[in-house]
Amino acid sequence: MHILITGAAGNIGTRLRKLLKGAYPRIRLSDVRSPTDLRSDEEFIAVDLADYEKVKKITEGIDGIVHLGGHARRGSWDTIHKSNIIGCYNLFEAAYRSGVKRVVFASSNHVVGFYPRERKIGVDVTVRPDSRYGVSKAFGEAVGALYADKHGLRVTCIRIGSVKDKPIDQRRLSIWIKPEDLAQLVRIGLEHPDIRFEIFYGSSNNEAGWWDNSNARRFGYHPEFRSEDFRAEAMAAQAKLPPDPIGDRFQGGSFCSDEYDADRKW
């Protein structure tokens, strides 16, 4: 398979391209800026996802796309609109027109950030985004469903939690995913013969998890890492953080408390 990774210079892209290299010798990388650790044997093309013609070019000759590109945090409507709405639509449209067979879309836990922490949720709940960023990821999932149902593109959306070497606070004990486990999910999306349109949660084997990830397990996902092994460290880090009464109630954390004023009196 010839793979394209968009957003290759970001946190997840930088980790995944190393982990996927063994499985897919032919990987094309794109981002707005070049990865700082680009090797001479890697193919990189600088592309702004808002530019459809350029996006179309980088998808040509590609079998599967890992779409990480776009704005990966909260942001202004202008930024989110350009990178995550227009950019994401361009990516799926170009993939379809170029005959790409599969797209693995980096969705986010922030699609469901306003679910309370005591509620365990599966992939079939109504979206409850906690930010414009979360809304843009819900949009991406919807565009993915459209191209899967209407055009037969095989699409996997991974609602990614927190991709780090270890969980960094209490919330991350519930949503952490070790990069190696994420690479496993990505490979399922790129290779599993039964994928049509699927949503998975991007989390490791976390005892404190909030998500029912049986859909991913149905496709053979066996996370190898557990956040519980880092509990003491994560809780020590948590103790140093200022209280966040709204963020601490909801799964999305500070994305929920940011700009929050739903409790004001009218």
Task: Please report, as ranges, the residues that interact with ligand 15L according to CB under 6 A.
Answer: 72-73, 108-110, 160, 162
Whole-angstrom CA distances from 242 to 114, 169, 266 are: 20, 12, 28
Reduce the DSSP state of residue 225 to 3 states and report it: coil
133 carries an active-site annotation: yes
Cα torsion 108, 185, 179, 153: sign: negative
CA pair distance 53, 47, nearest whole angstrom: 10
CB of 230 to ligand 15L, least distance (A): 15
* SS3 assignment, position 139: helix
Total Cβ atoms within 10 A of residue 142? 12
CB closer to ligand 15L, 30 vs 108: 108
Residue with smaller CB distance to ligand 15L, 189 or 252:
252
CA dihedral 11, 161, 68, 100 (to 10 degrees): 140
* Residue of 24, 89, 115, 133 with catalytic role: 133
CB of 22 to ligand 15L, least distance (A): 25
Nearer residue to ligand 15L within complex by CB, 156 or 162: 162
Which residue, among 168, 137, 14, 20, has the nearest Cα to 75 in the 3D structure? 137
Tell the smallest beta-carbon distance from residue 110 to ligand 15L (Å). 5
- Min dist. Cβ of residue 145 to ligand 15L (A): 20
State the residue number with the nearest CB to ligand 15L.
108
CB of 76 to ligand 15L, least distance (A): 16
| C-beta atoms surrounding 208 within 10 Å | 18
Sequence-ordered alpha helix ranges (H) in the chain:
11-21, 52-59, 77-80, 87-97, 132-151, 170-175, 179-191, 214-218, 231-239, 254-257
- Comparison of 100 and 129: residue with beta carbon closer to ligand 15L: 129
Pick 66 or 160: Cβ nearer ligand 15L: 160
**How many C-beta atoms lie closer than 10 Å to residue 152's C-beta?**
11
Give whichever of 110 and 187 is closer to ligand 15L, judged by the CB atom.
110
Could you say which DSSP state residue 238 is in? H
- Token digits of residue 264: 């004001």
Q: Tell me the closest approach of the beta carbon of residue 162 to ligand 15L, in angstroms.
A: 4
Residues with catalytic function = 133
